[in-house]
Structure 1
Amino acid sequence: MLDELFNLIKQNGQQTVVENEAVPNEHNEAVMQEAQTSIVDGLSNLRDPSQVDSLFESVRNGQTESNPAVQQISNNFTGNIMQKFGINGSTAASIAASLIPMVLSKLGNRGNQGGSGGFDLGGLIGSLTGGGMSGGNATSGGGLGGNIGGMGAKLGLDKDGDGDVDLNDLTKMFK
């Protein structure tokens, strides 16, 4: 799953990173790897189901830039590439503002296409937070996936009426 995330970053980082004269060519791959690390770390830190709901809502509405989780991921990415690769602040912020929301939006859109992309934001969040998503269903491994499944049903998030909140419910929220 992380390989697919990195491929998506590489596809969308061509103009933002590779063709950017302010990013030395020898750092192109490492900057994109840092984007992946920042996204993975940021999504791993989503502990509250309302944060996950907010992120999915932002993706669905095409407003990822204004989401606090996306802003935090972008800020961390900006700081990391400034520190590690000597990229100036305005260039780093510009790269982050372009790349991070775009990648998260495309992840969300892939999940909305009935799984045709074989990769989705819900599955990534579930796998990163220890809740594991198996076939779109949160497994009982604890972590965020298990918490969302149990708490979400009680909060009215069980859109398909099967007693738990899983990727199927999230998909129904986006339609």
Structure 2
Amino acid sequence: MIQETINSMKGELTGLLTQKTGLTADKAGPAVDLAKDNILSGLQKEATGGNIGGLMSMLKGGNTASNPIVTNIVNQYAGSLISKLGLPEAMSKQVATFAVPFILSKFQSQTAGKSDGDIASMLGGDLGGGMGDMLKKGLGGLGGLGGMFGK
């Protein structure tokens, strides 16, 4: 689902990155691809680390700028922009702090009003390795987290 969301808005985000951050068009497309990879990697890390509650809370909405999961993804992504695209540190931070919350807010609009189980199913294919099932099990079985979500 996240991959589909990012792919559907790649043109829009590419244009916004060039307008808002000064990123050149030849770097903007690869930057969006890196954003997708880093977001998926960050979400998978949170899920496999057992932070199911934090992950679901972030995906359901709220302020992404102050969310520690988002901060970790932004930092990872900024590092990737430096190492893989050769962007200067200041520009990589600017791109990362714009792109990651932008993408996640689009995904949050798709998860609004959905149950944790539905969100886990939506993420399953993106995160691979039976991650959707793991998330669902985590909702009901990791230290009583299921009770926090009404499951």
Tell me the TM-score normalised to structure 1 length. 0.67
1:10 deviates by 1.4
Q: Which position in structure 1 is the counterpart of 2:72? A: 72
The equivalent residue for 2:140 is 149
Instruction: Sort the Cα spacing of 1:148 and 1:8 in 2 relative to 1 into closer, same or farther, 3 A.
Output: same
Query: Over aligned residue pairs, what C-alpha RMSD do you find?
Result: 3.0
In the alignment, structure 2 segments of 5+ residues that lack a partner are none
Structure 1 or 2, whichever has the larger Rg, is: 1
The 3-state SS of whatever aligns with 2:92 is helix
| Structure number having the greater helix percentage | 2
Aligned residues: 147
Does the residue aligned with 1:106 lie in a helix, a strand or coil? Answer: helix
Distance between the aligned counterparts of 1:36 and 1:72, measured in 2? Answer: 14
The structural deviation recorded for 1:52 is 3.0
Q: Tell me if the contact between 2:17 and 2:28 (Cα under 8 Å) persists in the aligned partners.
A: yes
Task: Summarize the Cα distance change of 1:158–1:91 in structure 2 as closer, same or farther, 3 Å threshold.
Answer: closer
Give deviations 1:139-158, integer Å, cap 9, x for gaps: 4xxx3432333236565135
Can you list the C-alpha shifts for 1:8-53, whole angstroms capped at 9, x where unaligned?
Answer: 551552344233574232222111100000001101101344x332
Unaligned runs of 5+ in 1: 134-138, 160-164, 166-175
Cα 1:126–1:152 shift into 2, 3 Å: farther
Q: For the structure 1 residues 122 and 9, does the alpha-carbon distance in structure 2 shift closer, same or farther, using more than 3 Å as the test?
A: farther
Normalised to the residue count of structure 2, the TM-score between the two structures is 0.75
Equivalent residues in 2 for 1:12-161, closer than 5 Å: 13-19=13-19, 22-46=22-46, 47-49=48-50, 51-60=51-60, 62-112=62-112, 122-127=120-125, 128=127, 130-133=129-132, 139=133, 143-151=134-142, 156-159=147-150
Q: Matched residues in 2 for 1:114 and 1:103: separation? A: 18
